[in-house]
Amino acid sequence: MYTLEQVRGFVAVAEEEHFGRAADRLQMTQPPLSRQVQKLEREIGVPLFERTHRGVRLTPGGRVFLDEARRLLGLAEAAPLLARSASTGTAGAVRIGFTAVAALTVLGYWARAAGKHLPDVDLILTEMVTREQVDALLAGDIDVGLGRGIPRVDVLAARRVHAESLILAVPSDHPLTALGRIPLLADIGTHDVVTYAPSEARYLHELVVAAFAGAGITPRYVQHVTQVNSVLSLVDAGVGVALVPASAAALRLPGLTFLPVAGMPPNTVQAHCVWRRDNDNPALASLLQLV
């Protein structure tokens, strides 16, 4: 196997087109430099230079190898810096799982902050519901999740990163838009309601059920779906009305109107970032400290 020293010698000779000048540049004598290049040629199995009485010129194989040799030396020079950066958390990768709502609220801020302050840290993003994030965290498939609720798992740590209210999504021509006042949960409960799947979107499902139950209302739930954008699509299609996180208003469909709900407590919808306590990825620690 050839060595970096042999590659550096080859590059110097190729650029100087002369063994003597290359030896001076490398601050060595010519005979050991010639031996380095000869060993390199034997290792590769092709001649790299044509020797002339004035110096040397690259063979076709030598021209191809020169490009790769320069790239190899560049990588070798960069490797220690990358290793030092990775150990301090300023380079590397962080695998992030996120929900659809987190993409509207937290994820953009994280991406902008990382791009500005941690430009050499790659964010590897995967959309998944909160339950899938917990499974992926426990399996070591992601470094941090952006989801709903705090998992009751000792090995996981959590931090609240966002809070918002539930609001009403209705078709723009719906009777609830013509009340002349802010609708009550009692008003909403007289109409068909699109809501969230009790298993895949348990957190939002329980929030909506609790909101209506607290007001003594039992609405007719006509559809249970997983993602907020699916809820909005069904509302837009006239299937029913829905309580959605306020950030969902950013997903404006032409036929939708978003309204506050009278008496709805603020900041009931909370998002947390969750990670394993034993995760030793320095880039994750840097990102969490930043955001």
List the domains of the chain with CATH numbers: 4-87 (1.10.10.10), 92-163+270-290 (3.40.190.10), 166-265 (3.40.190.10)
Going by C-beta distance under 8 Å and a sequence separation of 6 or more, which residues neighbour residue 225? 194, 196, 197, 201, 231, 234
Break the chain down into helix, strand, coil percent, rounded to 5: 45, 25, 30
Mean pLDDT across the stretch 229-241?
94
Predicted confidence (pLDDT) per residue in 82-104, tens digit: 666 556 567 789 999 998 888 88
**In this structure, are strands 56-58 and 49-51 parallel, antiparallel, or unpaired?**
antiparallel
pLDDT at position 54 is 81
Question: Among 74, 88, 81, 161, which residue's Cα sits nearest to residue 118?
Answer: 88
Range of 34-48, 89-103, 177-191, 249-263 with top mean pLDDT: 177-191
pTM: 0.66
**In this structure, are strands 192-196 and 56-58 parallel, antiparallel, or unpaired?**
unpaired
**Residue 244 CA: distances (Å) to CA of 46, 238, 249, 282:** 68, 16, 9, 36
- Look-up: residue for tokens 């404006």? 252
pLDDT at position 155 is 93
